[in-house]
Amino acid sequence: MKPFAELLDRLVLTPSRNAKLKLLVDYIAATPDPDRGYAIAAITRDLDIMSVKPAMIRALVSERVDEVLFSYSYDFVGDLAETVSLIWPSPEAENQEADLRLSAIVEALHAASRSDGPKLVETWLDDLDSSGRYALLKLITGGMRIGVSSRLMKQALADYGAKDVTEIEELWHGLAPPYAPLFAWLDGKAEKPANLAAAPFRPVMLANPTDLDELARYAPSDYMAEWKWDGIRVQVTAEDGVHRIYSRTGDDISNAFPDLLAAMEFDGALDGELLVGHAEEGGIRTGTFSDLQQRLNRKTVPAKLQAKYPAVLRAYDLLQEGGEDLRPLPFEQRRERLERFVDTLPAARFDLSPLVPFENWDEIAAKRNAPPDPVIEGLMLKRRDSAYVPGRPKGPWFKWKRDPFLVDAVLMYAQRGHGRRSSFYSDYTFGVWTGPADDPLLVPVGKAYFGFTDEELKQIDKYVRDNTVERFGPVRSVRAEPDHGLVLEVAFEGLNRSTRHKSGIAMRFPRISRLRWDKPPAEADRLETLEAMLD
């Protein structure tokens, strides 16, 4: 448990993606089976074990520790699992030799009945050191939030075994913790495991970003264009009566969309965009991105929510039809097959992403910035002859996002960064004006920590240090008045209504696009401007 606990502590505090990968790869290399498999599953929250209520943990600790001392400690520490892990009085000096293994805990929990839970947990709390206790409590209370996505984990596995990540994605769904056949293959001790699962995931084809300069090198007639929708890219597969919805990295997200799943009465595999949509005369009316957010990150979906925000699929591509693998065919042919295929599906749940006709690049460039629907984030350009291949090959597919929205905002707070930025104020909260014109005040509308160059970072950092009003730990508030302050041009992809933010709006993907040293803060935008952009 010690190496696992140590890994968790380091992952949580390490901001850099590369450093996280290094920590994971080193852990995988140093840890035996089946512990490493269980550890991976625990981190990506794919480990299905008996969960324990915080109240039970509190009851256990109250038998061992004075209530008053516990409450002083809990007040100071602020987290129940952490307080218990630190305060738990071990019967004797912590025994480092006989380290309890993660696999022993996981397997005992699998075998245990619910009533055995408290006794087991108590024994383990006695046997582990405080980091181990913390890891255990996070594991069994479902509070494991490590900042490692399933995608990052797959990358770590690929790095460890020197494989391409799409190979891991392809296999992933057919595997279960502790992933013994996967590790045997990664260690070079066995053949690549065959994905025997019904309705398997097919590694997704991705596009490269592009611009007009690059496109000028290609013939427009070789390409077809379609809208790029701002939902979740998914693969929906129905084979031999098994229905699955996969994310683009091969995670099974079927349970979150039972309404779409139930409508998958076909035999094949579709690539498309999952959106919220309402069936209407003549097609599906697309819901907003905020509507879609109501359906994201949910384990269970109440019927009411399903009715209010129905999940639909806007199809891009057809990968499999019956027993036939269509991926080697040219896109143009797959597209024809797709159109016929979608025609047979329930119209309330499935439709096509329409093609956008064009003659030359300038024409499509103009269309790109005048999309017919606010949920369009740009265009996809696909070579007519392109086969469907895994990964992100250069040339066959391009994505060309529409220009971002821009707003001039005023810097209000700056927070120190992490890692190589720990000596810089690099995370900026910015606001726009609201209230009466003769006595305006700033309301924060977002936070951004990239988009600027290293040189600009130094300039903003100097500005923050020279104009600090107050300091709160790692955060400084800076002078932000109508005639004194720094105006930031912020680019973003869209706005959502938000009840959590004072301004009532939340920006999607905000970043700093320009520093407006020349602009007086009084001339920055007002909240009304942003509100008018809400749909």
Among 53, 420, 484, 497, binds another protein (CB under 8 A): 420
CA distance 356 to 219: 16
Q: Is 79 in the site for another protein (CB under 8 A)?
A: yes
Among 282, 328, 436, 473, binds another protein (CB under 8 A): 473
- Alpha-carbon dihedral sign for residues 96, 101, 104, 105: positive
Q: Is 418 in the site for another protein (CB under 8 A)?
A: yes
CA distance 325 to 396: 19
**Strand arrangement of the beta sheet that strand 208-209 belongs to:** 208-209, 397-401, 376-383, 223-229
For residue 421, give the DSSP letter: G
Q: Is 12 in the site for another protein (CB under 8 A)?
A: yes
Quote the least distance from Cβ 423 to another protein, whole Å. Answer: 4
How distant is the alpha carbon of residue 233 from its chain centre?
12
* 3-state secondary structure (DSSP) of residue 311: strand
Q: Is 6 in the site for another protein (CB under 8 A)?
A: yes
> Exposed (0-12), middle (13-18) or buried (19+): which is 233, by Cβ within 10 Å?
middle
Among 35, 46, 127, 129, binds another protein (CB under 8 A): 129
121 residue type, one letter: V
Quote the least distance from Cβ 462 to another protein, whole Å. Answer: 9
Please count the residues of this chain forming the interface with another protein, following the rule CB under 8 A: 39
- Alpha-carbon dihedral sign for residues 424, 425, 428, 430: negative
What tokens were used for 279? 């069936």
Which residue, 3 or 258, is less far from another protein as judged by CB? 3
Q: Is 58 in the site for another protein (CB under 8 A)?
A: no
Q: Is 82 in the site for another protein (CB under 8 A)?
A: yes
Which residue, 145 or 497, is less far from another protein as judged by CB? 145
Question: Residues in the chain, how many?
Answer: 535
**Percent of the chain that is helix, strand, coil (3-state, to 5):** 35, 25, 40
Which residue, 416 or 519, is less far from another protein as judged by CB? 416
CA distance 108 to 165: 32
Q: Beta 350-352 vs 311-321: how paired, if at all?
A: parallel
What number of other Cβ atoms are within 10 A of residue 385's Cβ? 12
Which residue, 14 or 288, is less far from another protein as judged by CB? 14
Quote the least distance from Cβ 6 to another protein, whole Å. Answer: 7
Among 31, 44, 83, 249, binds another protein (CB under 8 A): 83
H or E element in which residue 511 lies: strand 511-516
Quote the least distance from Cβ 79 to another protein, whole Å. Answer: 7
Q: Which stretch binds another protein (CB under 8 A): 7-15, 52-60, 278-286, 518-526?
A: 7-15
With tokens 């999952």, the residue in question is 274
Which residue, 290 or 415, is less far from another protein as judged by CB? 415
Mask 18-47, x = binds another protein (CB under 8 A)?
-x--xx--x---------------------
Q: Which stretch binds another protein (CB under 8 A): 70-78, 258-266, 292-300, 348-356?
A: 70-78
For residue 303, give the DSSP letter: H
Quote the least distance from Cβ 450 to another protein, whole Å. Answer: 17
Among 33, 73, 118, 363, binds another protein (CB under 8 A): 73
Which residue, 72 or 509, is less far from another protein as judged by CB? 72
Quote the least distance from Cβ 458 to another protein, whole Å. Answer: 9
What number of other Cβ atoms are within 10 A of residue 108's Cβ? 16
> Cis bond leading into 178, ω under 30°?
yes
Q: Which stretch binds another protein (CB under 8 A): 69-77, 105-113, 341-349, 399-407?
A: 69-77
Q: Is 422 in the site for another protein (CB under 8 A)?
A: yes
Q: Which stretch binds another protein (CB under 8 A): 66-74, 209-217, 226-234, 330-338?
A: 66-74
Phi, psi (degrees; rounded to nearest 5) at 105: -65, -50
Q: Which stretch binds another protein (CB under 8 A): 4-12, 48-56, 100-108, 353-361?
A: 4-12
CA distance 178 to 200: 19
Quote the least distance from Cβ 105 to another protein, whole Å. Answer: 21
CA distance 28 to 50: 25
How distant is the alpha carbon of residue 440 from its chain centre?
37
Mask 351-390, x = binds another protein (CB under 8 A)?
----------------------------------------
Cα dist from 519 to 12, 303, 414, 441, 487, whole Å: 39, 51, 19, 17, 6
Quote the least distance from Cβ 248 to another protein, whole Å. Answer: 31
Binding to another protein (CB under 8 A) within 179-238 occurs at: none
Quote the least distance from Cβ 87 to another protein, whole Å. Answer: 5
Quote the least distance from Cβ 315 to another protein, whole Å. Answer: 44
CA distance 302 to 261: 15
Which residue, 22 or 399, is less far from another protein as judged by CB? 22
CB 522 within 8 A of CB 483: yes
CA distance 535 to 496: 9
Q: Is 15 in the site for another protein (CB under 8 A)?
A: yes
Residues that bind another protein (CB under 8 A): 6, 9-10, 12-15, 19, 22-23, 26, 65-66, 68-70, 72-73, 76-79, 82-83, 86-87, 89, 129-130, 416-420, 422-424, 473-474
